[in-house]
Structure formats: structure tokens, C-alpha cells
Structure 1
Amino acid sequence: MSTSSVAKANQPPPTERSTGWWLAAAVAAYVFWPGSVPKFFFLGVGLWLACRVVRAQARPVACAGFATALFATTFLLTPVCASRALRLPGATEAASPLVQLALLVFGGLWVRAAAVGAPPLLARVAALRGRVVCLWTLLLMGVCFLPWMADIAYGGDEHYHLKALVVSHLLDLELLGHGWFIALGLAWLGAGIWLATRRASDEPSPSSSPEGNRLRLRAVGIWAAVGLALAACAPWLYPAAVLEDAFNQDRMLRYPGSQPWLSAWLWEFARDNAGSGVLFGFEVLRFSSVFAVFVLGLVFVQESRWRTAAPVLSLLGALAVAMVPTVHYHSTLLYLELALIPLLVLLVRDGRRWLLASPARLAGTNAWWAALAVGFLKDTGIIAVGLLWLARAVVRGAFLTRRGEWSFAALLAEARVAFVTLGPGVLYLLLRAMHGSRPYQPHLENFLATEVWAQATRGVLEQFGFLWLPALAGAWLLMRRRACWQLIVAGVLFGGMWLFHLVEEPRWVGLARFNLLLLPAVLVLAWEGLGALLHRRTVALVALLLLLGGNAWLSPVDRAGQRAIWGGSGERWYDYTDCLEHLRKLKPDARLAIANLSHSYGIGMTLQRLDWWADLANLPVADPADAPATLRAALEMAARGNFDFVIFRWDGTPPIAADHRHAGYVRLRDFPSRGGTLTAFARGPGATPLPAR
């Protein structure tokens, strides 16, 4: 064979090269496109193109890089070793080298055990038709568009989850200030790309030796270890003031770090003025939540029955899932739980393999990768995987006992499964407990409270909407086929997480955000029920349209994009942006006071978003039960403080006169919304009241 023919054989085919160029174009468009929401289209299509570019021989490199990124972001880039609770007595350094070294060794062992084989999901997503992926992305952007850009709510926990993102963002800015570290990081990524393309060019042949394969796998392992070692240097690049800051200390172990770091990177690449500290837009901060729903749709439509069905049926099915009331409500909020749903769906869908497969046959499957990744995204994901691992331990133990196959080797193999799927999660929970983050406090008396059981039942019935109908049909079909293993996994996940949250503080029982962990079991059963209709296209079309319409009717998000007070949460959305933009036009150097708010984070982040660094004070609430009395006290206090405007929050319609005046302030304008009303008051006799919108 000539040299030229060998070179051509090692080159990727023309279609693959063109896909690579399309991927590069999607990345460039994500970075440079001027609008924020359109960037999501390039993000979604870019994921599909990446699955097509990464060929089978290169996927081990991609999977090793993924496992490395998971561990590095949670334990190494996040300065866990700087926790005050982990320092040795008498230590003077902010970051502990001993703790970081222990984490590095643990991470190296974990990545080596975890990164074996690539999930079949990658090849199946790559096989999807491009028009299906593009249309699914556009449909999802359409149903999310209006609530996507809503201001941060008053009440609720979105701001607390955003704090984790902000910490990662601040740490990222510190790393960007060290050029050598960024250069080494880019070199490490370049080495991974070279290694992947080198593996992809090594087409399998009868002459391929086992020794050559071992050398290539060893090179991938060394590359992953170098990445972990580089990430382990990060805490010594952060200033001591950053590590000692009370805000950063509070947040560094509050949630696992992988998802906040991903959101921060999406934010950095999407901003016009990277590094200035001004938010690009709330919609960009919420990309990871919408992205989770996008991936959930791909997980469903890549299944063989749906992949071969008419595209309109696949798209309607994915859209019906996106419009499930709790999914539609949370898809445009930065709540970390939503990212768990696609992975847990994969795990439940592959329930038989998860329970029965030997460790060797389980490694590298969809269930394997889903189980090991869940714990890095949210602490409650560790509980979910722990429950499913217990189910596997019981079933596998009974299986091996009945067949008389127990041995030290079998026990060691099962221990590896536990180490890969639960090891990092248990380590995180241990470090978090030592750090002193909010502990889980069970209220066992809830088991005897019938009103708590009723509250929990009401929550799942309301939040999952009409999804229960195909889910019941799917459960019946599985029982009819005697597919008991998948039902066991679904039942363990649903029942275990139900009981876990049932003994929470009673006011949080039935909270929609907590019930998201119950959703994967119901989704898998519903998808089974809907899939049985695909051979009858007209029946399937009618059923999907009815499901879509019913879920849209029950959605807590109205046609104007405003969310209801829903799901057991106290979140209320106000038009902070419109209010502040109006006041800035009237007086750009104004001093602002806000009143009847127990915290200012919603309006505070909106000021940052608008790049208006106004002097803002949060006035104390005089009487939580008497809003008019609180208003009078707030206006009097604002007059003494010489504030130009007072923004008062109401839970409903303001119970005051249209020309209300007090303490030198006049009612200027109302900004009503579904959650309540903001009323702006202006100081001085020259202030002219304006009509409400």
C-alpha cells in the first residue's frame, strides 16, 4: 500500500470533516451572536454535532474527560480544601495541601475506575435526524421564551442556587487572571483533542495488538491524571481574601460544584462584556435548566421506537413532556434539581441491567454513566442513587446466593460499582457535614399526620398533571409483559424519595422542587404507555395532542409568561426591571429605598443586570401583618434618609388611594404582576403621579 493511500485511510471522511466545521460554527455563533436567547439554539445543536463528531474510537477520551471534569469541578477547582472546618490545628494557610492531596489521590482512583466504555446514548443521539434536533430546540425555546427572562422571584430558593453559580463565576475570574494556568488548561484540552483524533484514526484491524490498546488506554489515563493535577493547583491561585470570605465559605460546600461551574462557563462565553461583573441576562444564567429539558427530550426521542416514528410524533411527545406543569414551571428557573431528571430517566429506563447485570457488563452503559454523574449535580441526587444502589445490592445478593456464585472476586467487583456510583457522593456528604452546611433534619412525626400525607399526595397529582394517565397505562403494560425489574427500579426511586421528603419540615412537604425527584419514574412509565400507540399513527397523534393540551391548560405559567404562586413555594414575581428602568429615566443618580421585603436579592440582581449601581437601602418591615402601617413607617424612614424613590411591595392590589401622599412622598406609578404589585413613590412636591400600566 502506498504512503498516500495510508494517509487517506487515516483521514476522517468528508461528511465527518464537514460536521466538524459545522460544530466550530455553532460554537462561534454561541460566543459572538448578539442576542442571548438565540444562543441556546447553537448550544443545543452544538451538542448533537459533538455527538456526531466524536467517533466510537474517540469516545473513551471524551468520557475520561467528562469524568475528570465532574470530579475536578466539585472537589478541586472549588476550594474544598480551604474550608475552615478541614484545617489542621495551628495551620496558617487558607488552603490545606494535605486535604487537596488526599482529594487528588481519591479523584485519580475514581476516574480510573469510572471511565470505562462509552454510553450507547452518544451514538443514538448522533443518529437522530438534524431537522428533528433543530425543530426540538426551536420548539423548546418557544415555550420557554417569555418566562425565561423573568426577574428573580421574591421568596423561594432560586437566588440561593444562583449564589452557587456566582461563587463559581468569581473563582473563574480569578483563574482567568493567571495566564499560565489558562495556557496549561488549553494545552491539556488540545492534548485531549489530539489523543481523540489519534485514536479515531487508528481504525481497528486484525493486526491491532492488545499491547497497543493497553498503551492507548494508558495514555488516556495519564491525560486524565494530568487534568486532575492541574485543577488541584487552583486553590493556591485564589487570593486569601477570596478563600476567607464568609460568603464563599458558606457556599463552597452547600451544593456539589459541577453544575454551578458549567452554568458559570456558559455564562462567561455568552456575555458581551466578559469579566466586568455585569450580568448578561437572567436567561443565560438559566441555560442549564432549559438545557436539562432539551437533553431530556433527546433521551426520549433517541429510543428506537420513537427514532423510527414520524418526526411529528417524536416532537409532540417531547413537547408534551416539556409542558408537564412542574417541568414547564422549573425549566426557566435555576434550580439544580432539574438537571437530575434526564440521568435518572436513563437509570430507570435501563432498570433491568442496573439490577441484574454483572459489574463487567454494567460498566460503560447508560445506567453506569447516569448513576456516577447524578451525585455531582445535586446533593439529593446522592440519596436517589443510594436508594437504587441498595436495590441493586439486594437483588444481586439474592441472585448470586441462589446461584452459589459468591466469591471474593464477585464481592470486589460489586464494591467497585459502589465506589464509582456512591464514592464521590459519600465523600461530599462527609465533607459537607464537617463543614457545617445545613443538615437533613427528619420529622418522623409526619408519618402519623394525615394532613401531611394528603399534602404530599395533592402535590404530585397537581404538579405532574395529565402525565399520570399514560404512566398508569405504561405500568399496566410492563406488568402484563412481566417486566418487573423496571417497575422495581421505578418504585424504589419514587417511593424512596417520597418518604425522604415526607419527613421534611411539614411546610416543605409536597414542594414542587423536591417532587422533581419523583418525576423520572413517572416519565419512564408514561413514555412506555405512549410508545405502545406509535404503531397506530392517528391514535398516537390524538393522544399526544390531548396530553399536550391538557398539560398546557394546567401549566402555572400563563400566556404572558407570568408564573402563578404554585407548587407549595412562596415565590412571587414582580416587574423589577420595568420599575427600575422607569426610575432610572427619571433620575439616573437616584437614591432608592425598597420596603416590605425581608430580603433584597431579586431587585438587587436586577440592578446588576441593568448595569445601574444605584444607592439602595432595604427598609425594615414595621408590621408584617399590616401592609399600610408598614408603608407609613417606610415613607417616614425614607424621608429621614433623604431617598428619592421608595419601591413598596404588595402581595396583591394596593389598598391605598390613587393619589396617596405621606411624609413628602407621592404615589408615582404601579407595576402590577401576577404575584402582586410594586408601587413607586417619589419624593418632593414636584413629583407628578402617573397612571398605572
Structure 2
Amino acid sequence: MIFGLLFIIFNFAFIISPYWLLPELPIGKFTVLVVTIISGIIWANYSTGRLQLQYSIKSFAGLVILLSVIFAINLGPLSSSIPWRGDEDFHIANVLALINDLQPYVSIFVLAGFVVFLYLLAKNKGLAFIWYSLIMLVIFWALAVIRILPLGNPVFFPRYPYFTYWITAILLKIPSIIFTPFHEEFYRLVPLLFTGIIIWLFIRVSFKEISVPSFLAGIGVTTIPLVFYYSSIFYLELPAVCLMFVVCLRIDHLLHSDFNEIRNDPAWYALLLLGFIKETTLPFLIVFVIFRFAILFLKLKKSGQNNFDEKQQPEPNPLKRIYAVLGQEVIISLLVLFPAVLYLIFRSSLAEISRGYIPAGNNLLHLSTYKVIIRSLLEQFGPFLVIFLAGCILLIRQKDYIKVCFFLSSIVIFLIFFTADDWKFIGYSRFNLLILPEILACSIAVFHRLKDQKILGPVLSILILAVNLWISPVNSDGTKKPFWGNYNYDTSEHYYPYEETLQWIKDSDIHGSILFTGLYYPYYFEFYFHKLNWFPVYKVIESEENRNEKRDILKMLTIGKEENYTFVIYHILGKDIPTIEKDTGYEHMQEICNMAHCLLVFY
């Protein structure tokens, strides 16, 4: 019944996102398009099962209240300037390009169609659903043709999967017409929403109801340093983390169900969607596939070839049954891995991507590597690392061996996978997000055990909250602490007060020209010029990363004066502001700082 939705998702990911336009020759484009469409139809058809949603107004109200609390906690980080470095500016720019391409009626159609889809699915109106799916597919393809054909040379850079960009653009198209799309908060609400869903699921599974103790536990999860840091940055990881968490909550059923049963589980569709969201979830998917096969072989060994299925009488030809079950297992594996593998094929064979994965096994041979990993886990997960270990012990005592083995295996595989990457990224916080679902899923056992403890449970949550706030990477003004979550190399986000600085210059001299300097990496200035509806003459001169800042400032001020720039904005890298002589050609110097960094404005 959900073939239509799966095929539409596939189309957004691989057809409307025009990977098939990357080959140079027309015959290559046509071939890739046809093969992609056919493979998408086959994938969606085999992935489809029977699914009926259940919901309650009370449960939905609890989610809304929880999201409101999480929003209030993250109010400062949501409105902070786009960081210098990191990839948030890249992701925002991609969504902005799609928003500019989208017509409002497309966004309205897709959103309205999705609401109708959920209604029909919840009411289990099969025949109406089938007709609706057919109509949706016809209209969708018409819109797809309208969207793609005029794009002779689309602005398209397949460094990351585009599916999340499309969903974000569709959601933001209507608000962007009313408020303009140049508000950081719009984009950051996406990871915040998925953070809220993760915490809501954590509460529902741990406590079975929304209450004061459950809310305290939820706030404890919200303020986990890793969660607090990334819940207000527009990256692709948190939607993937949310889907992984859904899978972890249903991992027993997903690992033991046969091909027909597994497709009726909502978590099955979360598993399928992972490959569309983030290609780095592939290790998680591979662990899932390995465990499925391991469990199958254990069943074969235990039950014997002549009595594989205990519910049925021994078959005259047991090998035929075994081959059929193995065939179904292969199909499940292909369905789960296909979206991520297809994206990686497109990315590696049709696109020129400078940042690839090249394993460096020697990273695993150094003791310093493991010191960094342990430090990163302690700093980024805080008290929840202890809760996780306690949860593992409880699961073992409950004889949930397969579940705890799956969680531990997934964590270890991810740590090895990223440790064997470039040495710069060992312990990197953004990569450690992908072990958050397993840690939370294991921690549920502890909170579920304490849910009836009226004193011990809330006290534990309050202690967790206190420690989380003590080691928090978020400053009180909403900026993030520089270099947090980086151990071997600076690849983190740096929050500079560029919006405040540009607003101050606009108020001071709206016609003034600007020289930006002191940066050694580009910054998304155009976003704030559009946000302020102000387009001054400006120039960017990058400086060396390793430089004497005092000498570099004097050099750039000389250039600024020679080229008659009204303002020179200097990007200070370090914590200390050098003393500058008065005779620089500029009469005044203004320091504009937040709790993370400072900018110097000469005028």
C-alpha cells in the first residue's frame, strides 16, 4: 500500500535530484535515468508491506509541549550567526537554491498530499489509498518534468544526499514567502524537530507516559553535550540519528521477523530511509545485515535442516525451504543497502568529490588514538556514558543478548570506521552523533527500571542535568565554544558576530564600502546582506592561517586605505586582540565580540 510514497521518496532522492544529468553524453544521461527509474520501481515494490498508523491526541499534545520546552532551551543557539567553517553555510546555500527554484504550488501540493496520505494510512482505506497513490504519481511526474527539463545546467553538487534538502525546501517555501528565507532559525528548526522526536520516543519507551519525572529525563537528554551542540546546527546527521533510534527501539522485531512480517513494522521504513539521508549510516546498515544472517544461521543450526520452521511439519525437501529463506534474507539485505549504495555509486563514478573515505589502518595502532576516543566519549556524552554502561549490564541480566550485542557492535564498528579515516577526525563530535541512538537505546533500560522510583529517578535526572550544564559546549549567549569536539585538528564551527557587525555598519554608514579580511576560509556574507536587505560594495582578502596578527592587521589596513574602503573588518583568530598603533589611516577601531570570538572594525 505504501509503494507510492516509497517511489516518490526515491524520485526526490535520485530523479528530481538529477544525478542522471551528470554524465557528459546524452546517451549516458538517458541510460542512467532509465536504469534509475526501473531500479526505483523494483526497490519500492519489494519494500512495500501493509502498514497502519496509530496515534492519539494526548500523545501528540505531549510532543508539542516537549518541543516547546526544547525550543526555549535552544533559543539562543537557534538565533546565533552562521558559523565560520563547518558545513552549515554549505547546507543552507543548497536549500536556498532549491527554495528559489520551487514554485509555491509545488510545496503546497506535496505537503497537502502527505497529510492526505497519513489520513488514508491511519484509516486503512485501502482502495482509496491505491487510487490516491496513482493520482499522486501522475501529478508528481508532471511536476518532475516541469522542474527538470528547463534546467539545462543545474546547480548541483552531490557531495551529500539531496533528500533532506528537498524536504527542508518544501517545508520552508511558504514561510520564506512571508518572512524571506534569510533567517538561520528556519533551517535549524529541522534538526531541532528531530531532536524533539528522539527525546519524545525516549520518554515514551522509558516511562510509558508523559509526566514530570519523564520530562526531567527528557531535559537530561536535551542537554547531553553532543545533543545540545548539534540540535541547533543545520546538518544532515540528526534526521539520520532519529531514524536510527527508531530502528534501535524495534531492533528485536527487525532482526527476528521474516520478510513478510518485517515490512509491516514502521521501523522497517525508518531503516529503508537511512540510505537516503546520510551515506555514513552504511556501517549501521551493514551491522544490521550481518546480524540478520547470523541469527538465521543460528536458527538453522538450532532447529536442524529437517525442522527449520517449528510452526510447520517437517518438509519432504528441507533444502528448498532453506534456500527460500536465504533468498528472502538476500532480498532484505539488498533493499536495506540499496539507497546508500546507489548514492555512493553516483557520487564516486559520476561526480568529482575531493573528500572521500580512504582507510588508514595505522591509526588503530597508536595508543594516543584510544586516549582521544575515550576523552571524546566522556566529554561529548557526559553522565549518559555511565547510564549506557549500566543499561548494557541490565540488558545482559535480562538475557537480551542479541540486542546488547547489536548496540555494542554498531558502536564499535562506527568508532573503527571513523578512526580509520583521516587522523584529523579521530574523536570528532559530528561523527560521534551516529553512536547516539545506540547509547540512548541502551540507557532506556535504566530509566525504565527507575520509572516507579518517585525520588531516585528524578534525583538522577537532576544530577545528569547539572553535570551536562557544567560541561556544556554552549555559551550563555547561544554561541558554541570554539574547538569543542575537535582533538587533532580544527574542523569545528566558529561563531563570529558578523550579523551584529554588519547591522552596526549599516546603521552607521549605509553607503560605506567594506573590506573583509583576516579569514583563511570563506564565509557566507551574502546571506546577511540579503537578510539586512543591504548590498554594499565589499571585497574579501583572505589572510594566511599562520600569521602574526598585528603585522597582518597593519598590512590589510594599508590595503584598505589604498583602495578607499570605508570600513575594514578584521577576523581575529586567537583570543587576544593585539595592540594597534593609532597611525593606521583609520581614525577609529570598534571591537564587536560575543562569548566565542571578536571582530575588529576600523573606520
Taking structure 1 as the reference length, what is the TM-score of the superposition?
A: 0.78
Q: 1:228 to 1:407 in 2, by over 3 A?
A: farther
Aligned-partner residue type, residue 198 of structure 2: L
**Higher mean C-alpha displacement, 338-347 vs 284-293:** 338-347
**Larger relative contact order (CA 8 Å, sep ≥ 6):** 2
Q: 1:641 to 1:66 in 2, by over 3 A?
A: farther
For 2:551 and 2:109, the matched residues in 1 are separated by 63
Provide the residue aligned with 1:169 in structure 2: 99
Provide the residue aligned with 2:331 in structure 1: 416
1:16-55 to 2 correspondence within 5 Å?
none
1:83-98 to 2 correspondence within 5 Å?
83=22, 86-88=23-25, 91=26, 96-98=29-31
Q: Give the 3-state SS of the residue equivalent to 1:487 in structure 2.
A: helix
Query: What percentage of aligned pairs have identical amino acids?
Result: 21
Aligned-partner residue type, residue 534 of structure 1: K
Among 71, 74, 83, which residue is 2:10 paired with? 71
Among 43, 58, 83, which residue is 1:110 paired with? 43
Tell me whether 1:670 sits opposite 2:581 in the alignment. Answer: no
CA displacement, residues 595-632 of structure 1 (integer Å, 9 cap, x when unaligned): 11123324342223222222221113157321111111
Tell me whether 1:433 sits opposite 2:324 in the alignment. Answer: no
Deviation for aligned residue 1:217: 6.8
1:160-559 to 2 correspondence within 5 Å?
160-172=90-102, 182=106, 219=131, 222-223=134-135, 225-226=137-138, 229-230=141-142, 232-234=144-146, 236-241=148-153, 243=154, 248-249=155-156, 251=157, 253-273=158-178, 279-303=181-205, 306-308=207-209, 311-403=211-303, 404=305, 405=308, 406-434=321-349, 435-437=351-353, 438-559=355-476
Deviation for aligned residue 1:494: 0.5
Aligned-partner residue type, residue 542 of structure 1: V
For 1:623 and 1:342, the matched residues in 2 are separated by 37
RMSD, matched Cα: 2.7
5+ residue gaps, structure 1: 1-59, 204-212, 683-693
Among 122, 128, 147, which residue is 2:77 paired with? 147
Among 81, 89, 110, which residue is 1:159 paired with? 89
For 1:66 and 1:392, the matched residues in 2 are separated by 26
For 1:327 and 1:375, the matched residues in 2 are separated by 22
For 2:391 and 2:401, the matched residues in 1 are separated by 12
Q: 1:518 to 1:186 in 2, by over 3 A?
A: closer
Deviation for aligned residue 1:395: 2.2
Deviation for aligned residue 1:144: 0.6
Q: Give the 3-state SS of the residue equivalent to 1:407 in structure 2.
A: helix
CA displacement, residues 172-196 of structure 1 (integer Å, 9 cap, x when unaligned): 2xx56xx8xx4xx867877777777
Mapped contact 1:497–1:517 kept (Cα < 8 A)? yes
Q: Give the 3-state SS of the residue equivalent to 1:486 in structure 2.
A: helix
Tell me whether 1:575 sits opposite 2:497 in the alignment. Answer: yes
Q: 1:458 to 1:288 in 2, by over 3 A?
A: same
CA displacement, residues 90-134 of structure 1 (integer Å, 9 cap, x when unaligned): x39xx9233222222222222222232337xx52x5364455223
For 2:264 and 2:123, the matched residues in 1 are separated by 22
Aligned pair count reads 581
Aligned-partner residue type, residue 668 of structure 1: M
For 1:192 and 1:336, the matched residues in 2 are separated by 21
For 1:678 and 1:345, the matched residues in 2 are separated by 40
Tell me whether 1:593 sits opposite 2:515 in the alignment. Answer: yes
Mapped contact 1:77–1:232 kept (Cα < 8 A)? yes
Tell me whether 1:626 sits opposite 2:556 in the alignment. Answer: no
Mapped contact 1:490–1:521 kept (Cα < 8 A)? yes
Q: 1:299 to 1:191 in 2, by over 3 A?
A: closer
For 1:257 and 1:357, the matched residues in 2 are separated by 31
Deviation for aligned residue 1:349: 2.1
For 2:427 and 2:117, the matched residues in 1 are separated by 48
**Higher mean C-alpha displacement, 96-105 vs 486-495:** 96-105
Q: Give the 3-state SS of the residue equivalent to 1:517 in structure 2.
A: helix
Aligned-partner residue type, residue 207 of structure 2: W
Q: Give the 3-state SS of the residue equivalent to 2:480 in structure 1.
A: coil
Provide the residue aligned with 2:67 in structure 1: 137
CA displacement, residues 334-353 of structure 1 (integer Å, 9 cap, x when unaligned): 11111112211121222222
Aligned-partner residue type, residue 115 of structure 1: T
Taking structure 2 as the reference length, what is the TM-score of the superposition?
A: 0.89
Deviation for aligned residue 1:564: 0.5
Aligned-partner residue type, residue 307 of structure 1: K
Aligned-partner residue type, residue 335 of structure 2: V
Provide the residue aligned with 1:101 in structure 2: 34
For 1:331 and 1:535, the matched residues in 2 are separated by 30
For 1:422 and 1:470, the matched residues in 2 are separated by 32
Q: Give the 3-state SS of the residue equivalent to 2:587 in structure 1.
A: strand
For 1:606 and 1:552, the matched residues in 2 are separated by 31
Mapped contact 1:325–1:556 kept (Cα < 8 A)? yes
